[in-house]
């Protein structure tokens, strides 16, 4: 029989790793809560049309990376490759951005793209995304960047990340630029890599993003988008830079930064690191003022970003920034010997949970010898063992033994256990 395996590029998150996931997810959720952002939860599956109309027909994602299938009614559905489209769809469907009401929301969850799996690049991966609506000025662009900067500090990643910043201007600016860029590149068509040749017709700005060294060299003397920005776009970008300067957030200008999705304009940014090899972008976003209207709503300024959870976790691990306390998931392990002690053990454990609600207490289940229970107590990482035999149970006493330091077991009365543990933990 064929052994069953997870789908290529899709990972299980196992018990040994989940504490780190929870730590990261909690850190982000808490931070966003403090900035006044509220969570939204969208379906993982959306109509294929949504992604075609938002991300763009000639992007890598829509052209070749989507998990698209017909459901039993014959409707074309797609596993979401990113969160912005579904978030905008939800905002529109529920009228949350109508009347110019501003929204600041975030979401977390798996995204799906049929890419070549490698370190930091998977077919199911997780993002935390943040989106804001109906705030037009550079202040909100700045806030999004500043809050991620704070997050990097909290996670101990600041030294390892760089903020890359660019402005894509208005769609008119890009159209004028595109025409000149295409002229420039067409005159050098034979020197372009194959992907760039193909993109020249469909999505020429993406050529800027090419990883091919020869193409990059060719782009040195190409027209620069920055020279095509209208006055308003320039003012927006300067406003953003002034705010980042004021907040002390360092950045580098990257005139080639264009992003892989069609809906961006004005501000685009990426947080990159040189510690993860080729998969160096850990967080990316920008302004997408045209998208809500493109999906059938009223013109609505919008800006957001998404961070890649797997890449951030890799970075945290690479830099040795996993908090030491994560190794320790259990405070106390209760060992019981004998049928009377098992009964008493549950009584004791539940009474401890009543008075110490944060106590991480594992009650041994499954019987076994004293020795084997002790092995499990040790392996659990618990700092203390509580030991209950038949005699202690009858006397409402229990043995308390430190597992991580030398120290004798001492017998104490049940009613003294909470106070003792409070002192010790």
Interface ranges with ligand ATP (CB under 6 A): 82, 113, 115, 120-122, 125, 127, 260, 279, 281-284, 306, 308, 310-311
Phi/psi region, residue 408 (left: phi>0; alpha: psi -120 to 50; beta: rest), is beta
DSSP 6: P
The residues, any chain, with a CB within 8 Å of residue 39's CB and separated by 6 or more, are 29, 32, 105, 106, 107, 108
CB nearer ligand ATP, residue 120 or residue 290: 120
Q: How far is the CB of 155 from ligand ATP (least distance, A)?
A: 14
Residue number with CB closer to ligand ATP (107 or 414):
107
- What span, in angstroms and rounded, lies between the C-alpha atoms of 195 and 136? 35
Q: How far is the CB of 286 from ligand ATP (least distance, A)?
A: 9
Distances (CA, A) of 291 to 205, 305, 378, 417: 18, 14, 55, 60
Q: Considering beta carbons, is residue 110 or 156 the nearer one to ligand ATP? A: 110
Give Cβ neighbours of residue 204 (< 8 Å, ≥ 6 apart): 178, 181, 182, 185
Nearer residue to ligand ATP within complex by CB, 122 or 384: 122
Looking only at the bridges linking them, the beta strands covering 332-336 and 361-363 are parallel
* Rounded CA separation 20/313 (Å): 8
Which C-beta is closer to ligand ATP: that of 64 or that of 298? 64
Q: How far is the CB of 67 from ligand ATP (least distance, A)?
A: 12
Instruction: Compute the least distance from the CB of residue 89 to ligand ATP, in Å.
Output: 17
State the minimum distance, in angstroms, from the CB of residue 385 to ligand ATP: 41
H or E, element range at 247: helix 231-247
Q: Least distance from C-beta 27 to ligand ATP, angstroms?
A: 16
Q: Which residue is nearest to ligand ATP (CB)?
A: 308
- Between 311 and 364, whose beta carbon lies closer to ligand ATP? 311
CA angle 304, 203, 305 (to 5 degrees): 10
């Amino acid at each position: 029989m064929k052994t069953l395996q997870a789908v290529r590029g899709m990972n299980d998150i196992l018990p040994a790793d989940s504490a780190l996931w929870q730590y990261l997810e909690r850190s982000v959720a808490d931070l966003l809560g403090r900035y006044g952002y509220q969570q939204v939860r969208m379906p993982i599956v959306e109509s294929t049309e949504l992604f075609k109309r938002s991300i763009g027909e000639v992007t890598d994602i829509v052209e070749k990376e989507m998990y698209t299938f017909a459901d039993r009614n014959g409707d074309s559905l797609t596993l979401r490759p990113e969160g912005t489209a579904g978030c905008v769809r939800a905002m529109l469907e529920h009228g949350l951005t109508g009347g110019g009401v501003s929204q600041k929301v975030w979401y977390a969850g798996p995204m799906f793209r049929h890419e070549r799996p490698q370190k930091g690049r998977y077919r199911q991966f997780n993002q935390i995304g943040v989106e804001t609506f109906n705030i037009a000025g550079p202040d909100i662009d700045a806030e999004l960047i500043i809050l991620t900067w704070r997050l990097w500090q909290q996670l101990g990643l600041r030294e390892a990340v760089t903020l890359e910043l660019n402005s894509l201007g208005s769609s008119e600016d890009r159209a004028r630029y595109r025409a000149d860029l295409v002229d420039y590149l067409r005159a050098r068509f034979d020197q372009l890599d194959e992907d760039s040749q193909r993109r020249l017709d469909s999505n020429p700005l993406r050529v800027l993003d090419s990883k091919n060294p020869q193409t990059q060299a060719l782009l040195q003397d190409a027209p620069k988008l920055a020279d095509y920005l209208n006055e308003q776009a320039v003012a927006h970008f300067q406003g953003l830079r002034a705010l980042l300067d004021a907040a002390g957030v360092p950045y580098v200008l990257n005139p080639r930064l264009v992003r892989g999705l069609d809906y961006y304009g004005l501000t685009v940014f990426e947080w990159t690191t040189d510690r993860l090899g080729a998969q160096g972008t850990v967080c990316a976003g920008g302004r997408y003022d045209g998208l809500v209207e493109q999906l059938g709503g009223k013109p609505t300024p919008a800006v957001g970003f998404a961070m890649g959870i797997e890449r951030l976790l890799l970075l945290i691990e690479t830099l040795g920034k996993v908090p030491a306390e994560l190794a320790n998931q259990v405070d106390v392990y209760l060992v019981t010997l004998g049928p009377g002690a098992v009964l008493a053990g549950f009584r004791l454990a539940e009474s401890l949970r009543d008075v110490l609600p944060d106590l991480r207490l594992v009650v041994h289940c499954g019987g076994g010898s004293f020795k084997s229970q002790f092995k499990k107590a040790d392996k659990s990482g618990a700092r203390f063992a509580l030991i209950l035999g038949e005699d202690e149970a009858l006397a409402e006493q229990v043995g308390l033994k430190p597992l991580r330091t030398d120290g004798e077991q001492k017998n104490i009365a049940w009613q003294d256990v909470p106070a003792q543990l409070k002192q010790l933990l």
